[in-house]
Chain A
């Protein structure tokens, strides 16, 4: 390793920047360029919205001190945890340049299916496994239609939104499932329990974000998702199996949506088609506010977490400050537009230098 770095130093003599930086680090000039320069991080979108979130966090606390109470913060975190976790799966799809509109309905359907199986006496882990597989299968079908039938992603996932919602109604016949068989206590505790004082859904969200981050940043498959979002044709020419990887992204999105949906059913101890309904829009908003480009190829799950947090915190603040809940949609709408606008301006500024 050392030898390689020494060799690098020789070459870096060609450029002024390099030799300067290698002096400052005492050798390993190229190694210096291996790391993300601090200035690059500061200019990143994720950094920008984290600062914005910090300001929002401080400001709300000043006007409504109750906001800062740990119990309130944990409640807020739990409320947006389902959106953020589902957003991790959605981000995988959006990074490839696609979109998955079915996540909300899949949340509802998987919760109902697992709930119904439990209600009918199936053992807990098998019921959960079947619920998870139902979402993955639905996602896989969407992925196959996108890649093999060449459909715009909007179409199969919109179809799946409708199918999953309706299938949920067929199972419940419109009557919510409220009893979950012999293992009801264990099932309900999954979503409503705490570990070390932290609500389980919050831990679930943090784990999903951590897995998503490692997956996207560190694994070849994660890199391939970004590459496909950047230039699908180039990927195909260099032998990346574009279709299979896109199918995987949709299946993973469906899988994660079902996991969130099952946990939501457990948390509410209610299996109902209205669970998760409309959540796809909140999920996509969180992803977009979090800096994942709808054009594909850009963004991170850390951004998704902050995006979901910003929406969750604003909703809570409006309640605490006694602002009409009817206004929520307007505020969130402006934030979505403003966030994307901000990103456009930032990219315009960085590309001109």
Chain B
């Protein structure tokens, strides 16, 4: 009985050690997030079906696919809003359980939602530091510190907003997106997920947001951009993963493919580069 226990314990230690070493190799390969065999079913519906996704350190990964391809579901699993039915997430090579947005947040994963999740009635700096307003004497909101902090976040992004008091409701779509990005950045994330960041934006504002993503990459932030506007992300992404009907069609290096290649993957679910 005792011998069996010791043996089991030994086996566990050995296996654990083995998995650790293999994961160590992964991390030297500069993978920050690895989602493995992720499946999510809602009742009888399979929204995400055995998907593997890898995000490398300091890259921008485009996640594309038409509606109901499973992009948002997959990302909600990564930030802990949904629980995967099957599969495992690795973060910096370690298997992790992300059960809530709070867990993701602790790991350094932030998401900017498509609907932005801003408080329209509040000012810019109050939104950027929503719920984390600096205090004065422990009792009052320190408005000066709040604005200084917001200012330094915006400065890091290379942006100036005329008045940090200005109600977010009165800002343009591009500026609102900037505020949402600034909030995510204020947490100093290692991984940033942008859900349709250019939806409802003018072409100029879209360019601005995407160049913002590029400059964050320069700082070492790893970024996933979810979009269905293929042409926009071609300029900024390093790699593109294509989802179709919940399955991963494939992941391609942006510089090695044309827009048509990716479009075909989205529509037909076949990978042209495979046939080459």
The answer to whether residues A14 and B119 also contact, given A30-B151, A240-B131 and a CB cut-off of 8 A, is: no
* Among candidates B119, B141, B160, B165, residue contacting A18 with C-beta atoms closer than 8 Å: B160
Scan residues 297-326 of chain A and give those whose CB is less than 8 A from a CB of chain B.
297-298
From A233, which residue of chain B is reached at the shortest CB distance? B117
Contact B119 A12 (CB under 8 A): no
Q: Say which one of A130-138, A147-155, A162-170, A218-226 lies at the interface with B.
A: A218-226
With an 8 A cutoff between CB atoms, is A184 at the interface?
A: no
What is the interface residue range for chain A against chain B? Answer: 35 or more
Contact A17 B162 (CB under 8 A): yes
With an 8 A cutoff between CB atoms, is A227 at the interface?
A: yes
Mark interface residues in A15-43 (1 if CB within 8 Å of B CB, else 0): 10110000000000010011011001000
Q: Which chain A residues border B118 with CB–CB below 8 Å?
A: 231, 234
With an 8 A cutoff between CB atoms, is B229 at the interface?
A: no
With an 8 A cutoff between CB atoms, is A238 at the interface?
A: yes
Contact A239 B102 (CB under 8 A): yes
The answer to whether residues A33 and B164 also contact, given A226-B119, A297-B119 and a CB cut-off of 8 A, is: yes
Contact B160 A14 (CB under 8 A): yes
Contact B160 A226 (CB under 8 A): no
B170: shortest Cβ distance to chain A, in Å? 7
Enumerate chain A interface residues (CB-CB to B < 8 A).
4, 8, 11-12, 14-15, 17-18, 30, 33-34, 36-37, 40, 218-220, 223-224, 226-227, 229-231, 233-235, 237-240, 297-298, 350-351
List 6 A-B residue pairs with CB atoms under 8 Å apart, sorted by A's residue number: A34-B165, A223-B141, A231-B117, A237-B101, A237-B113, A238-B117
Enumerate chain B interface residues (CB-CB to A < 8 A).
101-102, 105, 113, 117-122, 126, 130-133, 135, 139-141, 143-144, 147-148, 151, 155, 160, 162-165, 169-170, 183
Besides A33-B164, A231-B117, 17 more A-B contacts (Cβ < 8 Å) are A11-B151, A33-B162, A33-B165, A34-B144, A34-B165, A220-B133, A220-B140, A226-B119, A227-B119, A227-B131, A229-B121, A230-B119, A231-B120, A233-B117, A237-B113, A238-B117, A297-B121
